[in-house]
Amino acid sequence: MIGDIVLLVGAVTSVIGTLIAVFRARTDKKLGISSDERQARREEADDHRDTLANRDAFIDRLNDRLNASEAREAAIQTRYDTLERRYRRLQDYTDELEHHIYTRKGPPPPPRPEGT
């Protein structure tokens, strides 16, 4: 009994598939679409999917480069801030030494700031 039902479902599916193929072929013939054109359209759709995948991969690579650039920029900014503070301390020390000289104070000069 179940075997007959499975056989019947298989036959109905096969008939429906054949009818769809015939209907598609008749429709394509009316529209003037050949099987080569249909294949070309499938390939074009595949190419489009590949293009989207390539675009997404390209965007991912650009995001990686952007993240790396931002990390480098942050490191450079940190280094710049450190050097700027050091430069400011040296300028302040230079001002202190000039003041020491102009007021005619004798040796020893004021001590050098740490980290310079």
32-82: pLDDT as tens digits: 666 667 677 777 777 777 777 788 888 999 999 999 999 999 999 999 999
At residue 33, the pLDDT reads: 61
**Residue 56: what pLDDT?**
86
Helices assigned H by DSSP within 1-116: 2-31, 35-102
Q: What's residue 80's pLDDT?
A: 97
pLDDT tens digits, one per residue of 7-33: 666 777 777 777 777 667 666 666 666
Distance CA 99, CA 85 (A): 21
Return the sign of the alpha-carbon dihedral for residues 31, 35, 10, 15.
Answer: positive
Tell me what pLDDT residue 21 has: 75
d(CA 83, CA 89): 10
Q: pLDDT tens-digit profile of 84-106?
A: 999 999 999 999 999 999 999 88
Alpha-carbon distance of 83 to 5, in angstroms, equals 85
Prediction pTM value: 0.48
